[in-house]
Amino acid sequence: MTLRPAHWRLRAGLVAVVFFSAGCSTPSTTNRGVTYGLTLSPTGIDPHLNASAELGIPLSSVYDTLVVQDPATGEFLPSLASSWSISEDGRSYTFHLRSDVHFQDGEPFDAEAVAANIDYVLDPDHHSQKAVFMLGPLEDVVVGDSQTVTFLLAEPYPPLLDSLSQVYLGMASPKALETWGPVDYQFHQVGTGPFRFEEFVPNDHITLTRNPDYAWAPSIYRHATAQVERVTFRFYTDPATRALALENGDADILGELPPHDWDRLQRDGAFQVESVPIPGQPMQFLFNTRRPPTDEWAVRQALLLALDRPAIVETVFGPSSPVAQGPLSINSWGYSAAGSFPAYDEAASARLLADAGWVPGSDGVLRRNDISLELSIVAPSWGYNPEVGQLIEAAWEALGARVELRVAPSFGQLKEAQEQGDYSAIGLNFFGTDPDLLRPMFTSGGIYNWMGYSDPLLDDLLGRAGGSAAAAAERSELYAQIARIVRDQGLLIPIRDYVNLVASHRRIQGLRFSYAGWFPLLIDLELAS
């Protein structure tokens, strides 16, 4: 099969995290069912075509993937592929598939099914928002016998196994894909996983039911089949009602709780709480290096030093979140402490600006050549970015700048603001378990290089780290060098390493999450009698 070429750049959806109350007054675990609160009502939930991390919370239990990651170590383990081999040049991945798997509509899972899934993702008429970019420099998928399939790459691409372990490349029934097509398949999804997709009512709920035929569970699961009969996911959009929904029995499990509610529920014996680290990028604001005054290194460095980041994190998130130290979260593979950002130093900040010619006017505003120091911050509306933006605004005003803070209500409007270019700093981050997610943000001309920064050395390091057959130790050192450049050039403001603040009723047992942090392993859920 000859495939349509795919660009290597990873394109990840931002995670917007919000909830609303379902309005039910009785415990939701009756009749062996569980209600799980989602934090976003996505506009589309076909994981092959849509990008939201929110869709993976239910759908990672509808689809199996070729490989899985150990939730504790991140090691890649067999799933639909019983084994695999990688060529010495890193350009060929051959997967040997299980022969005992069938889709939930009775269709067989085999090598042709794998090829059909990849073709569906790569079809340019389908406009995949994420999965297509996760395939890197894929050139072809070659079907050997019915249980053997080979991925051929134009160049080595170490993140491929990571991509193939994610729900966005989960295996769907080719018959269902063909029957329903890219518009309607999201309402009729068919995988091989431990739960069947039953219903999706936009802005209301998603329902999954136990797959009684499931008999090929990977080793990461503690149970061979699902222990609960039904899981209903409801969209809770008002942060103020999240903990209330749990306390009222409207929901059994809630993620992305407000930090003060999570902290309060820790002290309530009726609930279990957990802080789940999320690998990838931290909450961060990117400096615009194409627009004055943040096109100057000294200004960027001064603005960074003017921020007491630990105090910001403590004020907004309390003790629940670590302070970010670089372009990767501290729990991410590839993180290096050698790239840690400098600490708050108000005096050094003022000296940098003075040395660069910025002096206070009679009104206290810094000026240079009769031009005032004016800054614009664009904050996404989700994840407490506006609250963090307010504290950044206050700190920069105290420094002597005039600051405007704008909040973008959606990712589309965030992208519009970026395209207009009228900002000094803008909030943007992505999640993932492989540090190659840095490449589209920091390479010259990268799809998410909203800093406008260009550096041939950085391009070379990112290319070698993410597009080579380098050993893990070599890749790790390359990412350490990348982190140091990002820090030394003052390209961003790292704020908070993400953690998923989860609470569940004590009758819920066995709740665990994938290595990516967001996705529950629903097969292992049990209900106390």
Q: Strands 148-153 and 92-97: what pairing? A: antiparallel
Question: For residue 375, is pLDDT > 60?
Answer: yes
Q: Are 428 and 437 in contact (CB under 8 A)?
A: no
Instruction: Output the CA–CA distances (angstroms, integers) from residue 189 to 65, 107, 118, 403, in the order listed.
Output: 15, 13, 16, 47
Question: For residue 473, is pLDDT > 90?
Answer: no
3-state DSSP assignment of residue 84: strand
Least confident of 185-194, 239-248, 295-304: 239-248
**Does an H or E element contain 178, and which?**
helix 174-184
Residue 114's pLDDT band, with cuts at 50, 70 and 90, is very high
- Domain 30-277+500-527 and domain 283-497 have a common topology: no
Q: Quick one: DSSP state of residue 192?
A: S
Q: Strands 230-235 and 253-254: what pairing? A: unpaired
Question: For residue 12, is pLDDT > 90?
Answer: no
pLDDT at 454: 97
3-state DSSP assignment of residue 95: strand
Residue 158: is the preceding peptide bond cis (ω within 30°)?
no
Q: Are 207 and 150 in contact (CB under 8 A)?
A: no
Q: Strands 374-380 and 402-408: what pairing? A: parallel
User: Inter-axis angle of helices 472-488 and 456-466, to 10 degrees?
Assistant: 150
Query: What are the sequence ranges of the domains in the chain?
Result: 30-277+500-527, 283-497
Q: Quick one: DSSP state of residue 28?
A: T
Condensed to tens digits (0 to 9), the pLDDT of residues 276-330 reads 999 999 999 999 999 999 999 999 999 999 999 999 999 999 988 999 999 999 9
Mean pLDDT over residues 2-24, rounded? 33
pLDDT at 7: 32
- The string over 388-420, giving b where at least 16 C-beta atoms fall within 10 Å of a residue's C-beta and e elsewhere, is bbbbbbebbeebbbebebbbbeebeebeebbee
Q: Structure tokens of 136?
A: 């890197």
Q: Structure tokens of 194?
A: 């431990």
pLDDT at 78: 98
pLDDT at 21: 31
**Residue-wise DSSP of 482-516:** HHHHHHHTT-EEEEE--EEEEEEETTEE---B-TT
Q: Structure tokens of 211?
A: 């797959």
The number of helix segments (H) and strand segments (E) in the chain equals: 15, 23
Contacts of 201 (CB under 8 A, 6+ apart): none
Q: Are 297 and 353 in contact (CB under 8 A)?
A: no
Which residue bears the tokens 């790239």? 339
Please state, as a whole number, how many other Cβ atoms lie within 10 Å of the Cβ of residue 330: 17
Give the span between the Cα atoms of 427 and 407, in whole angstroms: 10
The domain made up of 283-497 has a fold known as Dipeptide-binding Protein; domain 3 (3.10.105)
Write the burial class of residue 118 (CB in 10 Å: 0-12 exposed, 13-18 middle, 19+ buried).
Answer: buried
Q: Are 45 and 55 in contact (CB under 8 A)?
A: yes
**CATH label, 30-277+500-527, candidates 3.40.50.1950, 3.90.870.40, 3.90.10.10, 3.40.190.10:** 3.40.190.10
* Greater model confidence, 263 or 1: 263
pLDDT at 158: 87
Which residue bears the tokens 């600490």? 343
Condensed to tens digits (0 to 9), the pLDDT of residues 84-108 reads 999 988 999 999 999 999 999 999 9
Q: Any idea what the Cα angle at residue 381 is, between residues 205 and 253, rounded to 5°?
A: 35
Residue 508's pLDDT band, with cuts at 50, 70 and 90, is very high
Average pLDDT, the chain: 91
Give the span between the Cα atoms of 482 and 31, in whole angstroms: 52
Q: Quick one: DSSP state of residue 104?
A: T
pLDDT at 360: 95
pLDDT at 470: 61
Please state, as a whole number, how many other Cβ atoms lie within 10 Å of the Cβ of residue 77: 14
Question: For residue 51, is pLDDT > 90?
Answer: no
Instruction: Output the CA–CA distances (angstroms, integers) from residue 275 to 57, 139, 239, 262, 500, in the order listed.
Output: 16, 40, 18, 9, 6
**Residue-wise DSSP of 430-461:** -B-SSGGGGHHHHSTT-TT-TT----HHHHHH
Residue 248's pLDDT band, with cuts at 50, 70 and 90, is very high
Q: Structure tokens of 269?
A: 């014996």
Least confident of 8-22, 157-171, 354-368: 8-22
Contacts of 313 (CB under 8 A, 6+ apart): 321, 322, 323, 495, 496
Give the span between the Cα atoms of 324 and 316, in whole angstroms: 14
pLDDT at 17: 31
Q: Structure tokens of 458?
A: 């950085």
Q: Any idea what the Cα angle at residue 129 is, between residues 106 and 444, rounded to 5°?
A: 145
3-state DSSP assignment of residue 464: helix
Dmax (CA) for the chain in angstroms is 79
Q: Are 329 and 335 in contact (CB under 8 A)?
A: yes
pLDDT at 22: 33
Integer-rounded Cα Rg, in Å, for the chain is 24
**Does an H or E element contain 82, and which?**
strand 81-86
* Greater model confidence, 24 or 83: 83
Give the span between the Cα atoms of 213 and 474, in whole angstroms: 44
pLDDT at 468: 62
Contacts of 412 (CB under 8 A, 6+ apart): none
Write the burial class of residue 362 (CB in 10 Å: 0-12 exposed, 13-18 middle, 19+ buried).
Answer: exposed
Q: Quick one: DSSP state of residue 295?
A: T
Mean pLDDT over residues 233-255, rounded? 90
Which residue bears the tokens 């509509």? 105
Tell me the percentage of the chain whose pLDDT exceeds 70: 94
Mean pLDDT over residues 477-504, rounded? 96
Q: Structure tokens of 346?
A: 């108000």
